[in-house]
Chains A and B, each alone.
Chain A
């Protein structure tokens, strides 16, 4: 089930504040990418322990939006972060 997946930040990723956004550098490859404020909040919640459902719950507490919308955002950003290779799924 998608929402039970757990992600962890990869090593060697240097985040940096870029205005309201967050820039991330893969120190080894030199690749980098930039995510917006919402993406930044998702990134900050990723800790190798919380699953996607729990991340959504955390963000629902801080955001004044309905959980369906947050759910959509979270899955979009997790996909993006995964594709950018800055997070990886914890295999259990």
Chain B
């Protein structure tokens, strides 16, 4: 087994005995411990998933074709891989994705499925279906000098105000998105062995401090001729957030649906959801960024 390393993930200090190639190593006093144990074959030889939930603070998720995850008390995660030569990046992705979001639920922090960008000292979360173009627009924001707060999973803290917590300085990106930016993927950063998606380092463009939530952007491909941005009514906005809540099935299994509903409604009492529609099969990402800068970011600036 590897020696211990320390990382900052979701504003928590994490001690891990598996190398997390999505963040920089930095010494700290651990809040969370991640332990990967010796591999053991799964009890069932298929791709099914089994849950064992003994209260909020004792959760086991056994993904039979990957690993068994035990998540406890918002401060401990144990992982038993089910293959001897497991695809490490896949396990790391699950650790800092679904498993970490579950651990955050134990800390009373809910997450939204979307990336967050920092602009004018506020966080803007971008949600959308797979293929809507979230990582492209996030990349374009980074190229335009904005900082990334989180990729794919935006955790919201309600401690003082509504804050988006910085996750870790890496983006997950499709190879064809990278092609558009003429960057070539690093083979060692392939996330799944059978999918053309890679980690892309965003260390130099990462915002390390929590930022107050400024708004939510719902990106969708639609029948429009030009990129369009409209503010949604609250009831529509609620529907969008409920659809894009992260690990919905886990929230339900843990009996936290009512709590999540209150939180999302609370979020929408403070910020709006904007529908960003982009024409099908056109490369309009620069225009998307221009419209958001003009209509959304400027507005926040004027409010401050």
Contact = CB atoms under 8 A, between A and B. Distances in A.
A25 B257 contact: yes
Contacts of A16: 261-262, 264-266
Contacts of B235: 18, 21, 23, 33-34
Contacts of A32: 238, 242, 261
Contacts, number: 41
Contacts of A21: 234-235
A19 B262 contact: no
A18 B257 contact: no
A25 B261 contact: yes
27 contacts: A14-B258, A14-B261, A14-B262, A16-B261, A16-B262, A16-B264, A16-B265, A16-B266, A17-B265, A17-B266, A18-B235, A18-B238, A18-B269, A19-B268, A19-B269, A23-B235, A23-B238, A23-B265, A25-B258, A27-B257, A30-B252, A30-B257, A32-B238, A32-B242, A33-B235, A34-B234, A34-B235
Q: Main SS of chain B's interface residues?
A: helix
Contacts of A23: 235, 238, 261, 265
Interface residues of A, number: 13
Q: Main SS of chain A's interface residues?
A: strand
Contacts of B257: 14, 25, 27, 30
B258 A19 contact: no
Interface of B: 234-235, 238, 242, 252, 257-258, 261-262, 264-266, 268-269
Q: Which 5 A-B pairs rank lowest in CB-CB distance, beginning with the nearest? A: A16-B265, A34-B235, A14-B258, A25-B261, A18-B265
A26 to B, nearest CB: 10
A25 B257 CA distance: 9
Contacts of B269: 17-19
A27 B261 CA distance: 9
Nearest to B235: A34
A46 B266 CA distance: 23
A18 B261 CA distance: 10
A21 to B, nearest CB: 6
Nearest to A13: B258
Interface string A20-39: 01010101001011100000
B268 A27 contact: no
A14 B256 CA distance: 12
Contacts of B234: 18-19, 21, 34
